[in-house]
Amino acid sequence: MLTPETKAAITRATTWLRANPDKHIKAALATDEHGMAVLPTNPNATCFCAAGRVLKEMDRNFSNSLMVKGLSYPAIWGRNDGHGSDCEVDEQRYKQGLGQVCALDYLDGLVRDEAE
């Protein structure tokens, strides 16, 4: 079960990444303006993968913090790096076995499913 704080962090992260698609990256939790990997809470961090942005919103740096909060880092990472920021595949198609849900849709689904 996700805490209200974790749900809020997920919502802030997905909202930010959707508003800044040019800052949604793969292969690193966060990078600075020069593309160098940095910790998500580093003040110089400008770009984030889905997990990295959630960590920033939670004020945490390491992926094991996600596990403690009830989130699966491998599930987020796999959808982010395996499917990237391309969120064209919707959840209905996923449920029908027709494609993956991107990382942002996956995270939104976690918040929505917990609310139901």
For the stretch 62-105, pLDDT in tens is 878 788 778 888 888 878 776 444 454 455 554 555 455 688 88
Handedness of CA 99, 104, 106, 112 (dihedral sign): negative
Query: The tokens of 85 are what?
Result: 């920021």
Model confidence at 110, pLDDT cuts 50, 70, 90, reads: confident
3-state SS string over 6-75? HHHHHHHHHHHHHHCHHHECCCCCEECCCCCECCCCCCCCCEECHHHHHHHHHCCCCCHHHHHCCCCHHH
- Is the pLDDT at 32 greater than 90? The verdict is yes
Q: Decide which of 30 and 71 is more confident.
A: 30
Q: What is the mean pLDDT of residues 16-31?
A: 92
